[in-house]
């Protein structure tokens, strides 16, 4: 089956995710994480791309980048090839480290960019690794908060901060408040655990409706909100997956979860 053509961003901005093959770790220690961050720094020299946000998890990475003097495919190839060479040499291994091609989605619009920055920085919180985004060492969050952070020099933060305010102190305050807000946005992420089959989730949702005596053909907004929130809390599925399971559109699912 031919690969789908990658969506081209009109703005030049992208959300990128790369993940370990078979969900395996791509970082085993802090040396590995520092090496990956150095690779980002090294490969962006000469204005080849701009890095606006990042978060390194154990087996995947989220990036918000924009194209500079080269296209996104070339940028990601240079980054991944360099890191794989280091990783394989260090651990005396051969073969693929990353799964398939990198995943990407175009970023169009100011609100989308703000939501994405919040989503990327809140990944460790959602994974129950920390309680707040600023506690996590391996993301760009603290650089935006203008704390003593060695990663600041590799980031291009003005784009995101300007979306909050042209006044830097006000922008930092708004960013600080925003990063604490719950994030229910749906962006590309690791595929949900296949052990939770779609049929099982549908059966679970049917049980939730039955338990709360909700008629799927005649329900109130409050009843639907209860059912969707319980499904989310029980399975931790993405908004996109919940939309597929229930037949509700993603925007409606998002509004119900925020209610």
For the chain, domain boundaries: 13-179, 198-258
- Of 173, 158, 202, 206, residue with least CA distance to 51: 158
Query: Taking 70 as the threshold, does the pLDDT of residue 240 lie above it?
Result: yes
Looking at residues 66-79, what average pLDDT do you find? 92
Locus of tokens 């590799």:
154
Rg over alpha carbons for the chain, rounded to the nearest Å, is 20
Q: Phi and psi for 103 in degrees, rounded to 5?
A: -95, 145
Q: Phi and psi for 63 in degrees, rounded to 5?
A: -130, 145
Query: Taking 50 as the threshold, does the pLDDT of residue 62 lie above it?
Result: yes
Query: Taking 90 as the threshold, does the pLDDT of residue 95 lie above it?
Result: no
pLDDT of residue 188: 62
pLDDT of residue 193: 41
Q: CA 26 to CA 83: how far, in whole Å?
A: 10
Query: Taking 60 as the threshold, does the pLDDT of residue 194 lie above it?
Result: no
Looking at residues 176-197, what average pLDDT do you find? 62
pLDDT band for position 3 (cuts 50, 70, 90): very low
The superfamily (CATH) of domain 13-179 is Transposase IS200-like (3.30.70.1290)
pLDDT of residue 205: 85
The percent of residues in the chain predicted with pLDDT above 70, rounded, is: 88
């Amino acid at each position: 089956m031919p690969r789908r053509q990658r969506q081209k961003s009109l703005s030049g901005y992208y959300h990128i995710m790369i993940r370990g093959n078979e969900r395996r770790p791509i970082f085993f220690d802090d040396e590995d994480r520092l090496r990956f961050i150095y690779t980002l720094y090294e490969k962006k020299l000469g204005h080849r791309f701009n890095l606006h946000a990042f978060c390194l998890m154990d087996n995947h990475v989220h990036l918000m980048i924009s194209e500079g003097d080269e296209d996104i495919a070339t940028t990601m190839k240079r980054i991944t090839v360099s890191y794989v060479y280091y990783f394989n040499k260090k651990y005396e291994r051969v073969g693929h480290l990353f799964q398939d091609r990198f995943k990407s989605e175009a970023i169009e619009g100011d609100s989308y960019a703000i939501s994405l920055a919040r989503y990327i920085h809140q990944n460790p919180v959602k994974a129950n690794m920390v309680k707040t985004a600023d506690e996590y060492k391996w993301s760009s969050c603290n650089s935006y908060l203008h704390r003593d952070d060695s990663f600041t020099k590799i980031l291009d933060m003005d784009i995101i901060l300007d979306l909050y305010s042209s006044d830097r102190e006000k922008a930092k305050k708004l960013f600080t408040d925003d990063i604490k807000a719950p994030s229910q946005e749906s962006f590309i992420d690791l595929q949900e655990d296949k052990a939770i089959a779609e049929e099982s989730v549908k059966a679970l949702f049917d049980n939730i409706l039955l338990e709360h005596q909700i008629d799927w053909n005649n329900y109130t907004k409050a009843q639907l909100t209860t059912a969707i929130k319980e499904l989310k809390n029980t399975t931790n599925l993405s908004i996109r997956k919940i939309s597929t399971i229930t037949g509700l559109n993603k925007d409606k699912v998002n509004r119900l979860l925020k209610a």
